[in-house]
Structure 1
């Protein structure tokens, strides 16, 4: 009986932990609003990764974002993915207040906010012949971002 109780408690704690770190889908409109708020004059390409430091209230530069992201996983595909998909944020201006005003749904309760401007599933399938690792990269990134305790992660789709 004790073992069953302990197993139930362990399962509940694992379940709570997994649910608290899930990726949150912003949707295309909210993603556009966010990017328009922080970098109105910059053209945005996707897939893209943007890392915002909610304590310093700045988007990390491409090299700093890559350095942070590289600490999150050790799979061989991870360095290639972070180098390709982390984008330049030199023209971004932001603050917690600005982001909260533009998108009240954003939670700035962790050290980092990560926006993964991902591709819709239909587009992933269409582009797969050009990059056979595309779906694998997308799945890996979603898995890693969905398990973070240090960051609140958002996707487009």
Structure 2
């Protein structure tokens, strides 16, 4: 399962130009599902942490939950914007800004997630399995961010309007 996910996200990095709009829309849907699952998996750690952990760790976990939820919302907004773009004749300039925001937000979320989980491994003396699991999730999130970032380069090449002497050509 994890190997398939790595291969799926890697294909967007290595074969960006061969992807279609539908491939990227599916990527956004899968990224949204991954974010929602990661958010839901983190909720019990916050609830359990209230009783057993230092209050500062609980606060860090709540902040992480907020970032994960906002990341999922940003991906959903990007997907909706892409779907709306393809149903209207407007240029893709508005999409580039949204893609950059989502990539920046997702990268920040990945860094916060990694820092939080590494801090938990070190301070709570978790085992090697936990460390490997956290590393796999962080690597998957990084690949997801990079795959979403590839959408911008795909837009620049695949969806560029035909321009002849400064006038947009009708296709």
TM-score bracket for the superposition, by shorter chain length: under 0.3
Structure (1 or 2) with the larger CA radius of gyration:
2
Q: Which has the higher contact order (CA 8 A, sep 6+)?
A: 1
TM-score (norm 1): 0.28
More helix by share: 2
More strand by share: 1
